[in-house]
Amino acid sequence: MNLYRGASSSTTPNSYVLDVGDKIAINIFGASQADLIYKIGEDGFIRPSGLYKIYLKGITISKAKVLLKNRFRQSYMFSDGQFNVDLYMARTITVNIFGEVVQPGTYTISALNTTLNALIASGGITSKAGARNIKII
């Protein structure tokens, strides 16, 4: 299992909340053409050249798509079907897994992963454990 998967290997859920460290890809077709990649900075902004900085921290990818389309229309010419936004690479998060797992410890995984993926990274639960008593803190 690839715990560092980027958007190219999976579909990003529309509910994914953007945060510092996420990289987004913007593709523009038509009269204006551009393939752009931006990393959300520590202050929560991306800084497209020729445009004002855009705050993306804390909003969903679906809301970001609408916001970015409107902002990029100020400097680029395209119709609705000629603008695309995807998560290029998700930020990484650090999780601590302990208790009755095969390999307790600290793991750094993509923010796109689920709790189950994190549990699998630790080798899964031991034969003494029960999946009904897992606690997420």
Within 8 A by CB and 6+ apart from 137, the residues are: none
Cα 12-14-19 angle, rounded to 5 deg: 75
Q: What is the pLDDT of residue 3?
A: 57
- The candidate with the shortest Cα–Cα distance to 86, out of 3, 30, 22, is 22
CA-CA distance, 16 to 5, in Å (whole number)? 14
CA-CA distance, 129 to 83, in Å (whole number)? 49
**Two tokens, residue 107:** 């793991």
pLDDT band at 8 (very low <50, low <70, confident <90, very high): very low
Amino acid identity of 58?
G
> What are the start and end residues of each CATH 3.30.1950 domain in the chain?
11-89
Q: What is the pLDDT of residue 23?
A: 97
In 3-state terms, what secondary structure has residue 72? helix
pLDDT at 105 > cutoff 70: yes
The larger pLDDT score, comparing residue 62 to residue 130, is at: 62
- Is there a contact between 87 and 4 (Cβ–Cβ < 8 Å)? no
- Altogether, the residues listed in the chain come to a count of 137
Architecture of domain 11-89: 2-Layer Sandwich (3.30)
CA-CA distance, 87 to 97, in Å (whole number)? 27
Q: What is the pLDDT of residue 2?
A: 53
pLDDT tens profile 30-85: 899 999 999 999 999 999 998 999 999 999 999 999 999 999 999 999 998 999 99
> E strands along 59-122, which residues?
83-89, 92-97, 105-110
pLDDT tens profile 114-129: 888 999 999 999 988 8
